[in-house]
Amino acid sequence: MQLARRAVCVVVLVSIAVVSTASHVAAQKGLTTITRLYTGADGQSHASDIQVAWKPSTLHASLSESEVVNVRAAQFLRWPAGFVWEGHPASKRQYVIIISGLGEVDVAGGRKVQLAPGRVLLAEDVTGKGHTTRVGAGEDLVMLLVPIGQEP
């Protein structure tokens, strides 16, 4: 069990390290953005960008770290090129980390969230009408799903 948890942590850390150039530049400036999908009072999915809050690391004075997030598993998911899934809520509250491929998520108000390697979503729109996910025609979309565990 301990080995499995370590493996999940390694997979999550390696996947987060895969960043696009834009994400890399933003991270170098101290900004790390996560796009949060949530269900609004209108029952529709919405998106908002949130910044990771950095603090001095307890590991080394030169490092920064975020608050710990309790996760319980990790699973890779591959969507075929050109696939469209209309009007679906998130299956559970989870981080979605894009590993490869391109796509977009459509939410209320016509906002389109672009999916590209290094993009991190916090999917919390588990009720309501949901969002639409579209995969680009050129290649499959591969993501890492990291369900968020119960808070201690």
Q: What does the pLDDT look like over 59-86, one tens digit per residue? A: 999 999 999 999 989 999 999 999 999 9
Residue 98 tokens read as 């894009």
Question: Which CATH number, 1.10.3980.10, 2.60.120.10, 3.40.50.1820, 3.40.50.1110, labels domain 2-147?
Answer: 2.60.120.10
**Percent share of the chain, pLDDT over 90:** 76
Under 8 Å between Cβ of 110 and 70: no
Cα 5 to Cα 2, 8, 12, distances in angstroms: 5, 5, 11
Of 103 and 15, more confident: 103
DSSP 8-state secondary structure symbol assigned to residue 16: H
Q: What is the mean pLDDT of the chain?
A: 85
Give the pLDDT of residue 150. Answer: 66
Q: Does the global pTM surpass 0.85?
A: no
Cα 128 to Cα 44, 46, 86, 101, 116, distances in angstroms: 6, 11, 13, 27, 25
For residue range 101-124, what is the model confidence (pLDDT) as tens digits? 999 999 999 999 999 999 999 999
Residue 67 CB neighbour total at 10 angstroms: 8
**How do the domains of the chain map onto residue ranges?**
2-147
Residue 84 tokens read as 């469209």
